[in-house]
A and B are shown apart, each in its own frame.
Chain A
């Protein structure tokens, strides 16, 4: 058996208490396109950053062409024939393509000589792989797809035999993605290896030869692409770990609280993120939105939370049409997915964070803030949610991640909303707190609150939600009561939209 182009053995990496990679093994055969799939935070990027020398593994070995190598800096990786194309390009925009190629490998004091030699060499690579780019074009003026091509060219020019692409299609139009895939096939034909990191299952099915699935820092499967299916991959990605069973009685849905109709959202680049969404949430029920991350769930939360305006469509709260900006005043509370970035102002004190978004309410004063009220409420929440240290004057930064989360939860829950939006309720929360949060959510439902949960943890949706919406590629690809749902069916719906996008 021929030695693998790349082989990683028992790579482990921890960040503090978090295990990002747990004894990961992977073999990349030369002349293949190898996909690595997994949800956000599954450890794919960490693994690739270790391979490219940005991070150093705590333990494990790396082999290139059968012999063990030490890679602790990107230049070691380059020397070992590994190239990487990042999600965010590492190009100097005001320089030309040729000048970008030469960065870091100028070859000699006088640029001129290096340039002529380089021009010949690059032209040859372009021919060999069908990677045409105008070498004298200014990079900043090129389309995104072409910039990506420059990155690939740069890696090849530096002698990469194995190319890592991190979410390469995230920024591309479908046509550009097609081009990219044909380039990758070309590379494969010439005997080079490609590692393709993505969470889009359609792409995996289209271009890869083999695929490895990561979940929570571990490799859970290595498969021949021919011998697998999207559904199987989706299931493997999401996993079926032991659930925390939430004790809850049946829902007693009341009147409709939220009604969304024909909601569309295009982002700044004009790419459609939400496509024709319609659904409703009733008082006294929990609706869970499932889906592989990056399929529009975050955007949905942002629109419902009043953070951005929809391109089209309507949102009604308790039968009243609302403008997206004033949605909070209608009784919508929002626990954002990225609580530490959006949900808190880390340079401000805990009690000030306790009213973020609600500070305009009359009970917090008129022109002046009634600090006494704020303090007493915050102290109350601190003890009820057991937020530590028990000092409301500390800056938000002084609290651990879990305690910051609890502060946001407390704020959003305790302001008496009619509709509670929660993104990734238990992301970054320790085990004890998960239970507390889940129990509280069910309690709120039983008190008649309408709750919408977005989570990439399918098990969380299954155990909490009364009804499930599945999102894929910006649409709702399935809806059902939880009682009638099974994970296989949901996994298929999650893959469904992806198939539409890719084919």
Chain B
């Protein structure tokens, strides 16, 4: 809590100074989804990417946080009318509004993350979460002594099931007979921001024999990682590198480089490198991966890392195909 207030204050100070040096000729814009920009997960990663761009170039950006469905179209057209050259939308829910509006603003570049919209002025960026999840699934199976690992999802939606299925494939790639416990925090948006619930679910999985638990649950996942630390078990972080949250108890993190995607989109649009079309960011593109740093060097052993690297190479080479969740 304090941390996010601190972050908010820092952000505000940055914003106010940045407004002064606004560059008139290039205007990027970023629209956050309902979770809000400080969700400690997806939206926040996008925010960090935009912030990095601002620091590097001194160019500030327009931003808006959605609070209801009707605001999606409104925010999009508002950004376009304000003369934004490039509008990045963080979240698959923008797909339909973007499809209707993209043609109206042919001179504006649009970037949508996590969904595909086929328009001449739209770039779609999707991640192969299943590939990164596959690798951390392998890590979980290698680290597990009990033969049981767990997965805690936020809201039960196809996107998160993709994390879940990739993870399960990874576990079973190493140990086909290992058990994977699966729980979701809920059916409403509150499932993204309920650390107590995450804590509870993780504890119940530990009680059922799991000793490594992977979360894909936004702020709810904090509770999962804390439970792992409290119980002396291992957790696996998601989206950002969360290894440092509970050093020694976070086996690794499945990083999804939304920040890089946002940063590069802004950067490319500022230059001339921006192209419409679909960009799929997987292991090959370094769009997803697993995090290694000082915090987990001792628990994610060299042996494990070698096995993960080998599998990574095979996935990139197409020898291992990670299927992920296939919506009906």
Instruction: Judge A-B direct contact (beta carbons within 8 Å).
Output: no
Q: Which residues of A contact B (CB under 8 A)?
A: none
